[in-house]
Structure 1
Amino acid sequence: MTVLLSDERITRLPAIDSGEPLVDLHTRGISAQGRQFVRESLADRLAVADSFLPAGVRLHVVEGLRAIESQQEIYHSYLSELRALNPGISDAETHVLASRFVSPVEVAPHVAGAAVDLTLMGEHGPFDLGTPIDATPEQSNGACFFDATNISREARTNRSLLADVLASAGLVNYPTEWWHWSFGDRYWAFVEGRDHAIYGPANRDEVAGLVAGASW
């Protein structure tokens, strides 16, 4: 059974921040949409994963660090969508459903600079991985789940390649989103059997400065 970010086994894990800096992925030679920032060790691991890919194939990061305000906006927007689709649903049920697609702010990996949304890119553009990045479970009929069976053989092969290189570099996948991979956050700590996350929310002033200077 898939463990979601709303699960108390995730939320009760403490985050003891290492103080590691945020770095621009371009400084590690990673293809990214505009300037994207993540924690230094995650950036280094992405560079390692990128080097594992066959010639002509690259990782391409669509989003890394996310401001807390943006995370809140995405979360509450999706809550509203779920309530409209499921009249009468309880707040607790909505919270669980929402966490399949967007993390509650208090445990969100993106606001810690600990996660990336990414895909595979070749000389002719993005690879087929079954759904667009950020396709909701409702929009994709569940095809956004990493192990979904309602995708093509090509998409399954490409997902397997993505998983092979990222897992080999120490990242973990959030299984309801094939594109979401992290290192050092609470979900990583849970999957790896650690007693705490090593990254908490990034400093708001630092994030504000990076967001202001980024071409997003």
Structure 2
Amino acid sequence: MTILLSDPRVRAVPVRDLGEPLVALDAALSPTRQLVRRGLADRLAAAHVALPSGIGLLVVEGHRPVAAQRAIVASYGAQVRAANPTVSVAEAERLTSRFVAPVGVAPHVAGAAVDLTLVDACGEELDLGTPIDATPEQSDGRCYFAADGIGADARAHRLLLARVLGGAGLVNYPTEWWHWSFGDRYWALSTGAPAALYGPVDVPVAA
């Protein structure tokens, strides 16, 4: 059974923040120079060089300010409630957390997560089955990493992501093939680590 970010087990994980700064990713990984914690930046660089020749990572989002996270939660939560008007508050929160994390446990707010995809040598995005940020409703569930109904190329590309990012120590949020993290509470629960390495950070400090 998929553990969602709203699960009480995620919130129960303690945070022992290493105090690492947010650093800008190399332009080869992220043309917009997204900010992430230094430990995650190092692991993304290692995953990038582990890819086959002619394929690269493209990071489109890293650290997200608390206010931006709250806005996304509110917007998507309203969509969920409109589509499911009879569900309880708790169930609406669970459904919302398939796509966006509660602020207190959000990996992006900790600078511990990235949204990314694969690109070819010309920088064109490869087929991963859905666009980044496709909601479960928009994609008919194909945004889930292990979803059925995607083509052979998309499946191979997702498995390649899993091999290089998992090999670098990152974990995937299984409802979003593009979301990978290191050092946050979800990562700690997934890997059995005693504590998260990174907690929320709201003041970007570039290297």
For residue 196 of structure 1, report the CA deviation from its aligned partner: 1.0
Aligned pairs for 1:13-162 within 5 A: 13-26=13-26, 30-124=28-122, 125-162=124-161
* TM-aligned CA deviation for residue 35 of structure 1: 2.1
Instruction: Tell me, in whole angstroms, the C-alpha distance in 2 between the residues paired with 1:87 and 1:185.
Output: 32
Distance in 2 between residues matched to 1:197 and 1:41, nearest whole Å: 13
Q: Is contact 2:56–2:121 with CA below 8 Å preserved after alignment?
A: no
Match of 1:214 in 2: none
Judge conservation of contact 1:30–1:46 (CA < 8 Å) in 2.
no
Partner SS, residue 155 of structure 2:
helix
| Structure 2 match to 1:213 | none
1:157 CA drift (Å): 0.4
Distance across 2 between alignment mates of 1:33 and 1:76? 29
TM-score normalised over the length of structure 1: 0.92
1:56, 1:122 within 8 Å by CA — same for their partners in 2?
yes
Rounded to whole Å, the distance in 2 between the matches of 1:92 and 1:126 is 37
- How many angstroms does 1:31 deviate by? 2.0
Retained in 1: the 8 A contact 2:73–2:101? Answer: yes
Aligned-residue offset at 1:33: 4.2
2:11 alignment counterpart: 11
Q: How far has the Cα of 1:137 moved from its partner?
A: 0.4
Residues 33 and 74 (structure 1), Cα distance of their counterparts in 2 relative to 1, 3 Å cut: farther
Alignment-mate amino acid for residue 82 of structure 1: V
Taking the aligned partners of 2:127 and 2:146, their CA distance within structure 1 comes to 15
Q: CA RMSD in A?
A: 1.1
Q: Percent identity?
A: 58
SS in 2 for 1:157: helix
CA contact (8 A) 2:107 2:181 kept: yes
Q: What residue number does 1:185 align with?
A: 184
Equivalent-residue separation in structure 1 for 2:161 and 2:194 (angstroms): 27
Give the counterpart letter for 1:70 in structure 2. Answer: A
Q: Any conservation in 2 of the 1:30–1:50 contact (CA below 8 Å)?
A: no
Counterpart CA distance in 1 for 2:81 and 2:187 is 29
Q: Distance in 1 between matches of 2:125 and 2:103?
A: 30
Give 1:201 shift: 0.6
Deviations 1:124-162 (A, max 9, x none): 400000000000000000000000011001100000011
Counterpart residue identity of residue 184, structure 1: G
Structure 1 contact 115–182 (Cα < 8 Å) conserved: yes
**Richer in helix (by share):** 1
- Structure 2 SS opposite 1:31: coil
Gaps of 5+ in 2: none
Counterpart code for 1:165? V
